Amino acid sequence: HRNEDLAATLRSFSKDLKEQEPQAEKKRKKAAKKEEKIDLD
């Protein structure tokens, strides 16, 4: 039973991470663009 609960928890956890990834990618790209501008200066 414990293993099944753990697997279900991991599944929902990874699902949450996948849903959050796109937002994190956008933030990372914005931060990268700011860094590039600083490098150009």
pLDDT of residue 12: 93
pLDDT of residue 41: 62
pLDDT of residue 33: 74
pLDDT of residue 4: 93
pLDDT of residue 9: 93
The number of C-alpha atoms within 13 Å of 39 and in the hemisphere containing its C-beta is 6
Quick: pLDDT tens for 1-41.
789 999 999 999 888 877 877 776 777 777 777 777 767 66
Burial of 14 per CB tally in 10 Å (0-12, 13-18, 19+): exposed
Whole-model pTM: value is 0.39
